[in-house]
Structures are given as structure tokens and as C-alpha cells.
């Protein structure tokens, strides 16, 4: 353990004569920022991101400034090229970083806009180290995993501490302790805790307690072995969170406590929860937040008044989850419907809207590959609204267009997102404007009517992903439109994008004359970003991904409008407020 805080400053420079190597940003003070490291054992998919974000929220509620970071072992520079079937949705940050879906969990739970500084892959780390080696930054030393690669990881965390001024950095390591690609991340955390000094860090091990049906009892051996692997790497956990289907018995907790040297009260049972939004209260009831504050010696930074205010507001929200709610069914058409994580942000955005409206959304997953105009009614007759989400490629595109035609002609509430916006344009061009050969050059490169195409300025940019419009962009809103009313009569708003195809400006006048309204566009450019059909009760689409900025206490107006319109359609006899009135009331806090 480093006792002298000045020692870090003296050894942080690169030297060929010293074995110490720990690059420190200028002005960084060791021990000022605390670190909570969250890692998993036994298996992946335990909910490390959910656990870490909920714990971070508890500390945030106490008036502390928190900043999360996800460390991923894969060699990709970002998540942009990952298949949703394998890795879930790609979450896009405001600065354009394409990252892991856990960053969406952090943004929603903490109500923070994160940046590329909150996401780090092995590809980023190794690229940085190799670039520095080529520039001679290591002064001729042989570059090694320890101390140079681990030093780069520590530098990322310290830069984040400096940039955010956070009281606590929450570090989530993807995968499990036994993964080869995670070994150097865990070593970097061990080194960081050593260098920062006592009471500077807290290690949390998330593990899983098996309960085989054939045995009828919980078994802790797999958890014990996973924790042993972590201890063999030089890390003594401070807290062990035991995930399980049912509450973990005291007997199992006692076994793990004895085996791991972790006090019994810090071996905690975390059974499955019906909603992730009730988990913060579960952790608070177990006293986990105060255990972390005590371990890090930051009790003096806590504001109990701030905590009471935040808890009351969050409790008002979670109380609505348990209240009786009206059932509605929303159809989601897509090509990744077998993997629900592919649409995690959409699912969450629907839940946010539904809770505030006193509704319960049942999702019907609709695979569009075999849907046509003749059978669309068979698939959509039992839904109260429909979402056509984003996606890439040609499979299922014609089925989506058939679904959109049905919603437009039958006054079914509709929300098109990204690809869903483009397909709505094509459906309208074909069936209303009479452009029977209208298509997208993504689907048919040599089509006769390229209503959806890449714009000339985008075609100049080469490289996979390089010609995409990524991240937050401002949108100009046309007055007296559905979008204008949904967003509280705002003149401009900001949403996040991830696409490369647009409405070709040559067709805008034709579409508008036929009754399509482009209610949102890019400032200074003829790039259409929001559309609606004025004669329809609720038909709206956007090139953006509004689900990415929906938050539990601030649901996105487009989703609130859709769910409100679906409720109104499902329960006409109740004389409910129209979707605009409902959205205006719920979304008064949206910004």
C-alpha cells in the first residue's frame, strides 16, 4: 500500500531507471476520488451494469457526484460493428460513441448524458499503447502488459476522475473473473487500489447461487470457486452480492463469508426483481449504500436532505409500477425479435411512458419476413399501436412497409424509428404519391425512384461506419405540427442519430403535396428528421432514436404520445385525454 500520497507524483513520470510506472494526469490528487470496482464470477449476464448503476444512483442521491465507466475485453474499438444477435443493442452516446448497452442502463438510472470517456475497450487500450510506443513515449523500455498496459487503464480512470470531478468512479468490468481478456483489467484495479491508498476503493464481486431443481436447495460451491479465482489475482472483495432466483439463505451467505473473509453483513442476497427500478430501494434496505460510504470514508460528503428529496421523487415513480394499470398491446416489427436485448432501449422507453400514463404495455414481437399486404391484418389486428424500429439490411423490409400501410389506412397509432422513418416514406411514396418504384438504395442500389438515398456529402466519406450520422444533433421543429405540440411547442430539440440514408431532397415537395408533413429538419440542411401524416390520429416517424434519451422520470414525448394514443384507441368508452394532452402533462419535465 502506498502511504505517501506524494510518492505517486514522484514515480508517475516515464523513466528507464525505475520499476514504478503509473502515468498521472497533471493536477490529479490521489485519494480524492474514490473507486468502486464491480466484477462478476460464475457466469456473465448477472446484471453487473444494473447492480452498478443502482448502487451509483444511491450514492448520487446522497448528494455525491458519480461517474460510471464500462471496461470491455473485446478488441473492437467500439461496439458499432457488433451483431445485435450476439451482443444486444448498440447504444449511441451524444458525442457519437457507439458502445455497450450497459451505458444505456447508466444513463437511464443516473439521468446523465455520458461520453466516450465512460466506455473503454481492450482495442482502445492497446491502440493507445502501441501509438505511444511508436512515438517513443516509453523511452526505449520494452513495453509490457505490466506496467504499461495496466498503466494505460489506470490513466483512463484518472482522466475520467479529472474530467468529471466525481466523488466516486464506478468501474464495471465486463464478462467474468475467469475470462483471459479481463485479467489485465483486474490487475490494473489491484494496482490502482494499491497506489491510491487505504479507504480509496471498494471491490464488489457479483456472483451467482445455483439452485438446481433436481436438488431443491441452493448450492454455493460455484460461487466459492469464482471468488477464489478473484482472490488468487490479488483482489480481496469488500462486498459480495449474491444473485439468485430466490432470496439467498443465511446458511449459504455464511459459507461464502467464511470462504471469502468478507463479513457476513456484507454478503448480500439479491434475488430476481420484477423491475430494475425497484432495485435501488432493495439495496438501500440492505444498507449497501452506507457500507460503501463507510468503506470509502466519505460520510462527511453526504447530504441527507438531498437524499430524502431524491428518494421521495423516486418512490413516487416506483409506486406507480405497483398500481393498477390499463393493458395495451404494442407491436414491434423487426429482424432481431428473438433477442430482446436488441431493443433494450425501446423496451425501457415504453415502460417509462406506460408507468407515467397508468398503462401496462404488452409487447407483441412481429417478424416481418413473410408479411405482405394481404396478410398484414392477421398480424396486426390485435395490437393497439406499432413501432417499426431501426435496423440495417434488406430482410423484412417489404413486410415492414406492408405493416405501415395497414397502420396508416386503419388509423393505428404508429412510431417509426430510423429505418421505420425511411420505410414510412417509401410506403407513402408508393401508395399515396403513386411512385410505385420508390425504394431505398440500401435495399435496391439501382432502383428507378431512389426516394431514400445517401446524400452527396455523405458519399464522400469512406470506410465502414464512417459515413454514418452519429450522436446528438439539433432538430428544427415546424410550428403547429404534432411534433411541435408533443415537445411543448419547442422550436428546437436534440436527439441522437445512427444512420446513413436520408430522404432525397428531390422528392420532398412531392411527398408534402400529397399530405406528408416533415415537421423536423436539420438546421441549414435539407435533411428531414421527423415526419407525420396530418390526417392520422397519431402517425409519426423520426430518423433519430428517441428511445436513447428516455429516462424513468423524464419519458420521451414520442413514446408517451404513442402509448397515450394506444390507450385512447383501446378504451374509447372512457373518454380519456387525447395523446397530445396526455403527453403534455407527463412530459413537462422533458428537456
Which sequence spans correspond to the domains of the chain? 6-316, 324-589
Contact present, 202 and 236 (Cβ < 8 Å): no
CA atoms within 13 Å, Cβ hemisphere of 80: 20
Q: Which three cell numbers stand for residue 61?
A: 442521491
Strand 438-440 and strand 414-417: the pairing is: unpaired
Q: Which residues pair with 71 in a beta bridge?
A: 120, 173
Which residues pair with residue 332 across a beta bridge? 365, 387
Which one, of 178, 173, 249, lies nearest residue 209 by Cα?
249
Q: Provide DSSP, 80-130.
A: TT--HHHH-PPEE-TTS-EE-THHHHHHHHHT----GGGEEEHHHHHHHHH
pLDDT at 412: 97
d(CA 438, CA 423) in angstroms, rounded, equals: 10
Phi and psi at 576, nearest 5°, equal: -75, 160
With residues binned 3-state (H G I as helix, E B as strand, rest as coil), the percentages for the chain, rounded to 5, are: 45, 20, 35
- Cα gap 541→425, rounded to integer Å: 9
Residues 400 and 479: beta-carbon distance below 8 Å: no
pLDDT score for 459: 55
- Tell the CATH topology of 324-589: Rossmann fold (3.40.50)
Report the distance separating Cα 230 and Cα 179, nearest Å. 11
Predicted TM-score of the model (pTM): 0.92
Say yes or no: do domains 6-316 and 324-589 share a fold: yes
pLDDT score at 461: 42
Instruction: Report the distance separating Cα 385 and Cα 331, nearest Å.
Output: 6
Dist CA 14 CA 279 (whole Å):
44
Cα maximum dimension of the chain: 82
Q: What confidence score (pLDDT) does residue 337 get?
A: 58
- Residue 266 Cα distances to 50, 218, 226, 232, 258, angstroms: 19, 19, 17, 20, 12
pLDDT of residue 213: 85
Stretches in the chain below the pLDDT threshold 70: 1-19, 85, 335-340, 393, 455-467, 588-591
Say if CB 514 and CB 433 are below 8 A apart.
Answer: yes
6-316 carries CATH number 3.40.50.300: yes
Amino acid at each position: 500500500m502506498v502511504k505517501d500520497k506524494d510518492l505517486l507524483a514522484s514515480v508517475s513520470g516515464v523513466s528507464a531507471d525505475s520499476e514504478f510506472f503509473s502515468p498521472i494526469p497533471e493536477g490529479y490528487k490521489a485519494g480524492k476520488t474514490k473507486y468502486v470496482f464491480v466484477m462478476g464470477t460464475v457466469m456473465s449476464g448477472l446484471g453487473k451494469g444494473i447492480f452498478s448503476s443502482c448502487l451509483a444512483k444511491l450514492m448520487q442521491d446522497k448528494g455525491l457526484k458519480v461517474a460510471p465507466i464500462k471496461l470491455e475485453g473485446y478488441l473492437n474499438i467500439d461496439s458499432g460493428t457488433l451483431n445485435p444477435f450476439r451482443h444486444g443493442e448498440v447504444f449511441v452516446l451524444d458525442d457519437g460513441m457507439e458502445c455497450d448497452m450497459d451505458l444505456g442502463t447508466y444513463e437511464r438510472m443516473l439521468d446523465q448524458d455520458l461520453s466516450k470517456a465512460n466506455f473503454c475497450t481492450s482495442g482502445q487500450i492497446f491502440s493507445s499503447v502501441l501509438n505511444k510506443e511508436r512515438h517513443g513515449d516509453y523511452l526505449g523500455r520494452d513495453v509490457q502488459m505490466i506496467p504499461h498496459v495496466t498503466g494505460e487503464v489506470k490513466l483512463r480512470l484518472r482522466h475520467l476522475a479529472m474530467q468529471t470531478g466525481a466523488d466516486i468512479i464506478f468501474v464495471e468490468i465486463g464478462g467474468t473473473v475467469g475470462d483471459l481478456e479481463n485479467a489485465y483489467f483486474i490487475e490494473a484495479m489491484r494496482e490502482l487500489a494499491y497506489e491510491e491508498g487505504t479507504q480509496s476503493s471498494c471491490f464488489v464481486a457479483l456472483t451467482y447461487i445455483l439452485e438446481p431443481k433436481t436438488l431443491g436447495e441452493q448450492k454455493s460451491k460455484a460461487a466459492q470457486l469464482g471468488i477464489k479465482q478473484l482472490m488468487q489475482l490479488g483482489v480481496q472483495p469488500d462486498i459480495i452480492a449474491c444473485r439468485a432466483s430466490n432470496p439467498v439463505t443465511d446458511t449459504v451467505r455464511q459459507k461464502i463469508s467464511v470462504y471469502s473473509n468478507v463479513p457476513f453483513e456484507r454478503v448480500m442476497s439479491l434475488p430476481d426483481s420484477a423491475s430494475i427500478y425497484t432495485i435501488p430501494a432493495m439495496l438501500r434496505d440492505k444498507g449497501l449504500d452506507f457500507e460503501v460510504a463507510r468503506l470509502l470514508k466519505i460520510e462527511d460528503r453526504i447530504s441527507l436532505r438531498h437524499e430524502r428529496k431524491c428518494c421521495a421523487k423516486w418512490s413516487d415513480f416506483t409506486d406507480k409500477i405497483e398500481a393498477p394499470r390499463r393493458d395495451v398491446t404494442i407491436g414491434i416489427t423487426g429482424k432481431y425479435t428473438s433477442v430482446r436485448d436488441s431493443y433494450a432501449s425501446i423496451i425501457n422507453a415504453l415502460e417509462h411512458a406506460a408507468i407515467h400514463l397508468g398503462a401496462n404495455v404488452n409487447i407483441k414481437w412481429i417478424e416481418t419476413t413473410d408479411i405482405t399486404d394481404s396478410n398484414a391484418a392477421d398480424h396486426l389486428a390485435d395490437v393497439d399501436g406499432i413501432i417499426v424500429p431501426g435496423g440495417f439490411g434488406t430482410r423484412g423490409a417489404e413486410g415492414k412497409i406492408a405493416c405501415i400501410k395497414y397502420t396508416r389506412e386503419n388509423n393505428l397509432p404508429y412510431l417509426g424509428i430510423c429505418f421505420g422513418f425511411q420505410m414510412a416514406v417509401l410506403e407513402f411514396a408508393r401508395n399515396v404519391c403513386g411512385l410505385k418504384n420508390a425504394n431505398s438504395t440500401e435495399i435496391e442500389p439501382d432502383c428507378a425512384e431512389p426516394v431514400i438515398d445517401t446524400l452527396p456529402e455523405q458519399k464522400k466519406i469512406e470506410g465502414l461506419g464512417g459515413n454514418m450520422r452519429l450522436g446528438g444533433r439539433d432538430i428544427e421543429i415546424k410550428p403547429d405540427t404534432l411534433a411541435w405540440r408533443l415537445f411543448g411547442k419547442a422550436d428546437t430539440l436534440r436527439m441522437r442519430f445512427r444512420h446513413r440514408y436520408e430522404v432525397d431532397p428531390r422528392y420532398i415537395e412531392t411527398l408534402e403535396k400529397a399530405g406528408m408533413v416533415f415537421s423536423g429538419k436539420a438546421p441549414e440542411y435539407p435533411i428531414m428528421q421527423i415526419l407525420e401524416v396530418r390526417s392520422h390520429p397519431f402517425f409519426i416517424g423520426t430518423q433519430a432514436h428517441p428511445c436513447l434519451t428516455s429516462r424513468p422520470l423524464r419519458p420521451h414525448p414520442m413514446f408517451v404520445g404513442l402509448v397515450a394514443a394506444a390507450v385512447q384507441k383501446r378504451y374509447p368508452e372512457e373518454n380519456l385525454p387525447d395523446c397530445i394532452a396526455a403527453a403534455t402533462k407527463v412530459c413537462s419535465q422533458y428537456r
